Amino acid sequence: MCETCGCDDPAAAPRLTSFPADAGAAGRSGRELLLEQRVLAKNDEQAGQTRQRLAARNVLAVNLMSSPGSGKTTLLERTVRDLAGQWPLAVVEGDQESVRDAERIRAEGVPVVQVNTGRGCHLDADMVDRALRALDPPAEAVVFVENVGNLVCPALFDLGEGVRVVLTSVTEGEDKPLKYPHMFAKADLVLLTKCDLVPYLAVDVDHCMGLIRRINPAVDVLTLSGLHLPAGAPGAEPEPGLAAWYAWLRARRPRPDARPRAGAAGRV
């Protein structure tokens, strides 16, 4: 993927000479056409339409992003298991190849569409639009969009989501926010996963938290532990971080769960 062009290694990219002479020549002999057009205008336009459509149905779309192996699918399996029955749920799975993740989610009994990007290293607004049309989530639903595992490219593409959630696991080391600041700068929430492994690792969690806050002072940060352990293993239960994650989601739904006050008539 990125080794093809070295796009994840700025040090490997020498500054080449541009071509001002040619640009000038075109101005003299040809016609210069001013465009002043954003490169991602088409993607952003589609994302805007998706966002409007979802808002009209009070649907919350959650764009989940991380490196491969941070625990996105594992968190989703657990999340849809715990929340099924509370809210309508649906999942869009993004991967280069295979329907493996979609099968894992389908096993939990939740509607899911797998998007395979082939050589592409991120989801874009058009892919998500097509997936959402296939899923057709009901009003009030929460739709989780699991992006392709990649801390670089997905940061740039608006999918029309309501919130952006970035996972980073303690096994990846504390310096991921420093190395991939664009991803963390645009997050609404960072989930630090696999925290039960901290005692076995040379990782400085406080330093990691400090880096996240330095890049994105307003971001929320929650920690999760033990989701990667087999059910029933010591440390696998209970997981207080999950309650905080669900509360965070609940607070961001377009129409929060109705909590009828005593004597108050429920809204329609």
Across the chain, which distance is largest between two alpha carbons, in Å? 79
Told to check if 207 binds another protein by CB under 8 A, we report no
Q: Does 118 sit near another protein (CB under 8 A)?
A: no
- Quote the least distance from Cβ 223 to another protein, whole Å: 22
Closest contact distance (angstroms) between CB of 41 and another protein is 7
234: nearest Cα among 225, 243, 242: 225
Q: Which of 92, 105, 121, 212 binds another protein (CB under 8 A)?
A: 121
Residue corresponding to tokens 């409007």? 52
Binding mask 52-81 for another protein (x = CB under 8 A): ------------------------------
Secondary structure class of 83 (helix, strand, coil): helix
Q: What is the spatial distance between Cα 21 and Cα 147, in angstroms, rounded to a whole number?
A: 42
Stretch touching another protein by CB under 8 A, among 12-20, 69-77, 128-136, 231-239? 12-20
Binding segment (CB under 8 A) for another protein, from list 11-19, 66-74, 198-206, 224-232: 11-19
Strands 60-65 and 189-193: unpaired
Q: Tokens for 1?
A: 């993927």
Reported as half-sphere exposure (CB side, CA atoms, 13 A), residue 4 has a value of 5
Indicate the DSSP class of residue 225. -
Provide the binding-site residues for another protein, judged by CB under 8 A. Answer: 1-2, 4-7, 10, 13-16, 18-20, 22-23, 25-27, 29-43, 119-122, 124, 152-153, 155-157, 178, 181-182, 185, 214-215, 217
